[in-house]
Structure 1
Amino acid sequence: MKNARIIILTSILTAIAGVASSQMKAKTPVVYDFSYLDRKIGGWVDSGYYKGASIIIVKDDEVIHQKYFGNYTPETVAYIASAGKWLAAATIAAVVDDGKLSWDDQVKKWLPEFKDQKGEATLRQLFSHTAGYPDYQPEGTHPDNYQTLKESVAHIVDLPADAALGTKFKYGGLAMQVAGRMAELAAGKDWETIFQEKIAEPLGMQLTHFTPVSNVGGQNPMLGGGARSSREDYAHFLNMIIHNGVYKGKRILSEKAIQEMQADQVGNAEMTDPYVENTRASERKDVYGLGEWREEVDAKGNATLISSPSWAGAYPWIDKKNHVYGFMLARVAEMKNGFNSFLGSPVLPLLVRDVLAQANMKNVKHGYVTTVDGAKLYYEETGKGEPLILIHWHSFDRTEWDPQFFELAKKYRVIRYDLRGYGWSSMPSENQKALHADDLKALMDQLHIAKAHIVGLSLGGFIVTDFLALYPGRLLSATAASGDFFDVPGPGQLWTAKEAEIQHEKIKTWQAKGIQASKQEWFNKLTVRNGKNVESLRQPVWNMIYKWDAWQPQHLEPRFLLGNEAEARLRAQKITVPVMVLTGDVDADVPDRLLKVVSSAKQVIIPNAGHVSNLENPDGFNEKLLAFLNTIKLKEDEKN
């Protein structure tokens, strides 16, 4: 009997311990590193684009990051421009939910003074920019800042349509004014009252209003760009949207309303607005719903990343794939240096995804190492075996190696890192004296790596060549893909006054074109071949270029490479390290000087690939690299 009691008691204690252990594991917080995202936004403020900003990011109903920059505080209210379109669409959806309006109601039903095709336009078309209305008041006329929607609409009725009904998507605000007036007539209330009763008050958005023209008189409900809000207020709205119309257990909008807002409303209309193409490298037409952009969709056409970006910098988004919503509140102070708020802010979801990916990678060690001059290099490593270090290209970051990182880790201890001036690593300064090869050595030293296989593509290939010339005794092998010698002045040649003057002119030209346009031009050089898109490259390459800080083309960049000094250094010594030059078959006829300078070097061609071979044909790249490494291992085994 006594033994039985002991057994029972032991079982109970074991069960309790198991539950406690499970609870402890469940409560282990996920650590998110938002330092790079903060640096990005802080850089915009420091550059004078904004006087202040704030960000909030929520995942699975938990705030995982929030921060204020510059002069912004929790009480800051700012005009949010086109981010108000989402609020306006929700307000009209609430009137539709009440049965007082239909998205298919024609304008002439409520405003019979609209006699031509503008009267035949539907509420749905008005709010999806396909109604054929002019986008703004013609130049030289009074802007649309009247005291009431009734007055605003009176100045729209006689404007001629500028496109046939439903044939063209033209982003603007006048059609939304007409939609708002229809809602006022249907509800029997002014716009601000409808918004407050249906959206703002139920969501606790106490600081959010459609902007008053003055302290005296009525409101100017510019539906397409006149709202003002706070960070917390708008976050409440996003919380309701991501929960399909429910906020804190109370239904605000019907599920059908949410579905209508997020569905493709462009249809067969001509899509000439490049917003989604420029920010997501997608040439889809189904990019807009009702008051919101469908930035990404799944295979069935369902929106997975939705947003309402503004020219002023405010940017709300919902990433349904990751159960995340976020909002950056900002108001542009000065557009300069080619910066564009409307196209700049949408990089934020990509930065958040990088943070989530890092936090959720299993069996991956990550952190920062410090170089000799104090710069911080971010790295990630996984796997066991001989060390293998991956070095990315210019304008890219460590994520270039996604198709190789885990695959190679099946046999090697794989390390990838962000070069100085890229990704999460430190930005340079113009007066620094540092070589990328020296940074690589510092990385190896701090990770206690005596020798390693190194693999680099393009800029990474130049670094491989430099390391081979400077530190051959630290190498097990060297693989240069699409790059060997970079014919530029080396560290022994300082910028002359004439060279600096020429570079400053290049910087002015680059910025005058615009950061976004310049990045787009570079992107097209990498992903368009013979006039056709290389589809396998578009999204991964653009995501990296879009996140890139573009420090290099806007500064007098220090001599980070040996440049034209590398060849002499290599010829002055006998290189016995196994060296492979990997070349995509598209570039097979491009001369490779490393083969002539290093007798141990051999060239291997990767089929169906161009310059960015590791992304265009990752299987072929991995196969050739592993075959090369296996050959080295076999030779070492034979020696032993």
Structure 2
Amino acid sequence: MTEIAASDGTKLAVHSVGSGPPVLLVHGITESSQTWDPVAGRLSTTNEVIRVDLRGHGNSQHNAPYDLATMAGDLAVVVDQTCDVAPRLIGHSLGGVVVSALAGVVAVHSVVNVDQSLRLDQFQAQLQAVAPMLRDPDSFPLVLSALFDDLAGSALTEEERARIEAARNADQEVVLGIWQAVIESEPADLRALVDATAASVTAPYLSLFGIDPGDDYADWMSNRVPTATVELWPDLGHYPHLVEPDRFVARVHEFWNSI
């Protein structure tokens, strides 16, 4: 592990393995770079795999703010210091949003977004309904546990579920900082933020879901990111890349080879 200082001095934990074209893996909310272990090991046979603990996660420093622009800016610094060529981005959950934003501010080879809809306005009502419980220190862990259990689904093995949970650290300040814009923004403002983020993406983009994002999502996405392909692997839940890592890595290579 190495440490890279973000533009505000926040120390970010960065892990690198393998050699070849660089791939940047970005984890989901409350998780860490360790969540990617099964995928990182497979990709490292052909690529340099760079994993970052987002600020407030894993071994990175806890230092507000935790908004999307700040996190994308953090990763832009990491890319500048670790990649000699445009990296291939892969993000899961929150990481899918962050790499989408990153693709609008640095040159990238491609983007793979794993099970993260960019229609954040559809997530807004769900978060607003539980916001009082998220702000309560006693109910906060219970709400998150229920949410993550529901997302994970039944396809993950118990062993893999336990491994993910071991990499999880739910810090209330961090979670609320990340979700603040979704909870507090006016719907029109949130849609405008999403549209601006999506409009800045010009790289080839694969959006791969284990949970159905809705029949109209592919059209919604292509209207905002013309380079996007939306693909559903039914019934695999929120972690399709960990339920079927061999299939996932093969699909990623197929996507890269098509560019």
In structure 2, the CA distance between the partners of 1:513 and 1:604, relative to structure 1 (3 Å rule), is closer
Q: Quick check: 1:480 aligned with 2:113?
A: yes
The answer on whether the counterparts of 1:430 and 1:558 sit within 8 Å (CA) in structure 2 is no
Task: Identify which of 512, 515, 523 aligns with 2:138.
Answer: 512
Task: Identify which of 460, 463, 468 aligns with 2:98.
Answer: 463
CA positional deviation for 1:549: 3.2
Secondary structure, counterpart of 1:551 in structure 2: helix
Q: Show the 5 A alignment for 1:406-485.
A: 406-429=41-64, 435-471=70-106, 474-485=107-118
Q: Quick check: 1:628 aligned with 2:255?
A: yes
CA positional deviation for 1:369: 0.4
Cα distance in 1, alignment partners of residues 38 and 45 from structure 2: 13
| Greater helix content | 2
Cα distance in 1, alignment partners of residues 90 and 103 from structure 2: 11
Secondary structure, counterpart of 1:455 in structure 2: strand
* 2:165 alignment partner AA: W
Query: Which has the greater radius of gyration?
Result: 1
Task: Identify which of 150, 153, 165 aligns with 1:525.
Answer: 150
In structure 2, the CA distance between the partners of 1:630 and 1:608, relative to structure 1 (3 Å rule), is farther
Cα distance in 1, alignment partners of residues 236 and 130 from structure 2: 33
In structure 2, the CA distance between the partners of 1:569 and 1:621, relative to structure 1 (3 Å rule), is closer
The answer on whether the counterparts of 1:527 and 1:534 sit within 8 Å (CA) in structure 2 is no
CA positional deviation for 1:417: 0.9
In structure 2, the CA distance between the partners of 1:518 and 1:379, relative to structure 1 (3 Å rule), is same
In the other structure, the counterpart of 1:379 is 14
Cα distance in 2, alignment partners of residues 574 and 542 from structure 1: 32
The answer on whether the counterparts of 1:434 and 1:559 sit within 8 Å (CA) in structure 2 is no
Cα distance in 2, alignment partners of residues 432 and 616 from structure 1: 29
Cα distance in 1, alignment partners of residues 178 and 212 from structure 2: 30
* 2:30 alignment partner AA: S
In structure 2, the CA distance between the partners of 1:479 and 1:513, relative to structure 1 (3 Å rule), is same
* 2:232 alignment partner AA: I
Cα distance in 2, alignment partners of residues 448 and 466 from structure 1: 18
Secondary structure, counterpart of 2:99 in structure 1: helix
In the other structure, the counterpart of 2:161 is 538
Cα distance in 2, alignment partners of residues 523 and 482 from structure 1: 13
CA positional deviation for 1:373: 0.5
In structure 2, the CA distance between the partners of 1:563 and 1:381, relative to structure 1 (3 Å rule), is farther
Q: Show the 5 A alignment for 1:528-567.
A: 528-529=153-154, 535=158, 537-545=160-168, 547-553=169-175, 564=191, 565-567=193-195
Cα distance in 1, alignment partners of residues 172 and 6 from structure 2: 22
In the other structure, the counterpart of 1:604 is 231
In the other structure, the counterpart of 1:581 is 207
CA positional deviation for 1:543: 1.5
In structure 2, the CA distance between the partners of 1:603 and 1:520, relative to structure 1 (3 Å rule), is closer
The answer on whether the counterparts of 1:462 and 1:485 sit within 8 Å (CA) in structure 2 is yes
CA positional deviation for 1:535: 3.3
The answer on whether the counterparts of 2:68 and 2:101 sit within 8 Å (CA) in structure 1 is no
RMSD over aligned CA atoms reads 3.2
In structure 2, the CA distance between the partners of 1:392 and 1:513, relative to structure 1 (3 Å rule), is same
In structure 2, the CA distance between the partners of 1:407 and 1:563, relative to structure 1 (3 Å rule), is farther
In the other structure, the counterpart of 1:129 is none
* 1:539 alignment partner AA: A
* 1:583 alignment partner AA: F
Q: Quick check: 1:613 aligned with 2:240?
A: yes
The answer on whether the counterparts of 1:578 and 1:601 sit within 8 Å (CA) in structure 2 is yes
TM superposition score normalised by structure 2: 0.80
Show structure 2 runs of 5+ residues with no match.
Answer: 122-128, 183-188
Cα distance in 2, alignment partners of residues 373 and 580 from structure 1: 31
* 1:482 alignment partner AA: D
In structure 2, the CA distance between the partners of 1:392 and 1:574, relative to structure 1 (3 Å rule), is closer
Cα distance in 2, alignment partners of residues 444 and 378 from structure 1: 13
* 1:578 alignment partner AA: P
Show structure 1 runs of 5+ residues with no match.
Answer: 1-365, 489-501, 633-640
The answer on whether the counterparts of 2:91 and 2:114 sit within 8 Å (CA) in structure 1 is yes
Q: Deviations over 1:34-54 (max 9, x none)?
A: xxxxxxxxxxxxxxxxxxxxx
User: Identity over aligned residues, as a percent?
Assistant: 23
In the other structure, the counterpart of 1:311 is none
Cα distance in 1, alignment partners of residues 68 and 231 from structure 2: 35
* 1:580 alignment partner AA: L
Cα distance in 1, alignment partners of residues 234 and 179 from structure 2: 35
CA positional deviation for 1:508: 4.1
Cα distance in 2, alignment partners of residues 462 and 528 from structure 1: 21
Secondary structure, counterpart of 2:109 in structure 1: strand
Q: Show the 5 A alignment for 1:317-328.
A: none
TM superposition score normalised by structure 1: 0.35
The answer on whether the counterparts of 1:479 and 1:581 sit within 8 Å (CA) in structure 2 is yes
In the other structure, the counterpart of 1:142 is none
Secondary structure, counterpart of 1:461 in structure 2: helix
Cα distance in 1, alignment partners of residues 248 and 229 from structure 2: 15
Cα distance in 2, alignment partners of residues 429 and 574 from structure 1: 26
Q: Quick check: 1:402 aligned with 2:37?
A: yes
* 2:151 alignment partner AA: L
* 2:88 alignment partner AA: H
Cα distance in 2, alignment partners of residues 540 and 602 from structure 1: 30
Secondary structure, counterpart of 1:441 in structure 2: helix
Q: Deviations over 1:161-210 (max 9, x none)?
A: xxxxxxxxxxxxxxxxxxxxxxxxxxxxxxxxxxxxxxxxxxxxxxxxxx
Q: Figure out how many residues of one structure are paired with residues of the other and give that number.
A: 243
CA positional deviation for 1:521: 2.1
Q: Deviations over 1:106-127 (max 9, x none)?
A: xxxxxxxxxxxxxxxxxxxxxx
In structure 2, the CA distance between the partners of 1:413 and 1:519, relative to structure 1 (3 Å rule), is same
In structure 2, the CA distance between the partners of 1:589 and 1:377, relative to structure 1 (3 Å rule), is same
